[in-house]
Structure 1
Amino acid sequence: MTVLEEVLASGVCAVMRKLPPEKTNDIAGALVAGGVKGLEVTLDSEQPFEVIKRLRQTYGDQAVVGAGTVLTAKQAEEAIEAGAQFIFAPILVQETIKAAKAKGIPVIPGVFTPTEAYQATEWGADLVKVFPAECVGPSFIKSVKGPLSHIGIMPTGGVDLDTIPAFIKAGASAVGAGGALLKKDLIEANDWDGLTSLAQAFVDKVAEAREK
């Protein structure tokens, strides 16, 4: 199974943004225990490259660790050097896609129009991230997948347990989940069992929606 296939299999990629670095191992452990296979460490977090390196060492055989909020080719290269197995970006930048593909690393840029989605794949993107997804909703994905059915789409932003079914049924390949999954109160309380249960609920929602 390829890196991308592994992320898509569970259907959920956790957006680990600005989390306490000293808790990232416990957080990742809870997510992995809940069945989440994609761990996206955003580069606007504290010590992102160190966290990526550490998570690869600890969970490299159980999950796929990548970098998010990658804005430039240089950032992509630095993240890959730290061990990132995939690159996520909130925007569409050709140089970033090229930098990742040159290293054989999957890259998923952010898009917001059908034209950007098509352009991204023409430039080599493996998948596109509709961001922020809450602004357009599942109907956007369904409409885009009509004429552009070959493009894999992952909505991120505003994805929660209530919206997952509609996004998956609309044609989303998987979802990116941030605050709704990585709840601050659970993390502050070190409630790793609670986080595992929530992660499992997200994974189950995707699986149920795929079956219907």
Structure 2
Amino acid sequence: MTDTARPPLPERTAAARLIVVIRGRAADQYAPVLETLAGAGIRSVELTLSTPGTLEALPELLERFGDRMDIGIGTVTDPSDLATAVRQGAHYIVTPITRADLLEAAAEAGIAIVPGGLTPSELHAGWAAGAAAVKVFPASVVGPG
């Protein structure tokens, strides 16, 4: 894939240069948190699949908050979850791993993907395969320095 075919991050997310990650016990906890974040000027959030009900809640959350913030789906590790997130209207995809089939599926769907990696080789592989951005994951292993 060439850089010209690389689906970019949504405009608000790219401009903000910040994605707030939200996890909870259940997806019904998202709305009040999103309301608070939107009111505080946050323009991009990642809702994780580690929170039960995330994909099912996405359409309603996009309807309520999608005009104020980009909503991405994270902790995506399976192409079927990626496809469901795209169908439900996710603005972008985040994955904790660098996996070629996820990058290919995102490119085919025309959606930005941010894969995670820990080593320089993993991060480069994600970028070279067409990621909109890459993230160091888990960052706690290397620390903020």
Length, aligned pairs only: 138
SS at match of 2:24: coil
Hey, what's the Cα distance between the residues in 1 that align with 2:11 and 2:28? 29
2:43 paired residue among 15, 37, 41: 37
**Stretches (4+) displaced over 4 A:** none
| Alpha-carbon shift at residue 14 of structure 1 (Å) | 1.7
Are 1:136 and 2:139 counterparts? no
| Alpha-carbon shift at residue 112 of structure 1 (Å) | 0.6
SS at match of 2:10: helix
CA RMSD of aligned residues (A): 1.5
1:113 paired residue among 119, 124, 128: 119
Partner of 1:7: 13
Structure number, greater radius of gyration: 1
* Structure 1 residues 122-177: Cα deviation after superposition (integer angstroms, max 9, x where no partner): 111110010111211244xxxxxxxxxxxxxxxxxxxxxxxxxxxxxxxxxxxxxx
| Contact 2:97/2:116 (<8 A) preserved | yes
Trace 1:33-72 onto structure 2 (pairs within 5 A): 33-72=39-78
| Contact 1:85/1:105 (<8 A) preserved | yes
* Structure 1 residues 71-112: Cα deviation after superposition (integer angstroms, max 9, x where no partner): 011111111111111000011111111111111110000111
**Structure 1 spans left out of the alignment, 5+ residues:** 140-212
Task: With the length of structure 1 as denominator, give the TM-score of the two structures.
Answer: 0.61
Hey, what's the Cα distance between the residues in 2 that align with 1:40 and 1:50? 15
| Alpha-carbon shift at residue 40 of structure 1 (Å) | 0.9
Task: With the length of structure 2 as denominator, give the TM-score of the two structures.
Answer: 0.87
**Structure 2 spans left out of the alignment, 5+ residues:** 1-7
Partner of 1:174: none
SS at match of 2:68: coil
Hey, what's the Cα distance between the residues in 1 that align with 2:11 and 2:136? 19
